[in-house]
Amino acid sequence: MATELLNGFGKLYLRISYDATHHWVYNEWLGYQTHPGIVVGADACLPALSDNNCAYLLNDNREVIGPWDHAVEWIVTNWAPRAIACVLTHFANVVSPESLAATSARAMALGLEGQLHMHQFGDIAEAQQWLRDARRGR
């Protein structure tokens, strides 16, 4: 069962689901992301990680509009340590390479370097394969 979060205008901005077959949490971010929305959304995925003892996150930003630099520091210093404490070890981040969100994703990846296994992808199938390989210990 997916968790869906709506912004102040009643529009869906995040869908969170646990994929039991692949044993990963899937975050599908949509539209423009505000700092408060990112905080609420990122925190909302923590129970899916901890309740399922899930170390793998597939974070899909392909439908994000605009940058989200305003939340990078919070993600790196606040959310990531808590996600890692929940058992997160592998973070596959999917972005459209030409988007403004890709710049924010690169900044986040630099900030998270050394804290967990994170890789940025332009193709969701490659991200999924990377997570499957990680689960198999490859």
For the stretch 62-74, pLDDT in tens is 999 988 889 889 9
- Residue 103: is its pLDDT beyond 80? no
Instruction: Check residue 133 and give its pLDDT.
Output: 96
Count of structural domains, the chain: 1
Average predicted confidence (pLDDT) for the chain: 92
pLDDT cut 90: percent of the chain above it = 75
For the stretch 43-52, pLDDT in tens is 999 999 999 9
- Residue 108: is its pLDDT beyond 80? no
pTM to 2 decimals? Answer: 0.91
Average pLDDT of the segment spanning 54-67: 94
Residue 125: give its domain's CATH number. Answer: 3.40.50.10600
DSSP codes joined into one string, 4-38? EEE-TTS-EEEEEEEETTTTEEEEEEEEE--HHHH
Pick the residue with more confidence: 124 or 108?
Answer: 124
Nearest to 81 by CA among 31, 132, 116, 44: 116
Q: Which domain holds residue 111?
A: 3-135
Instruction: Check residue 67 and give its pLDDT.
Output: 84
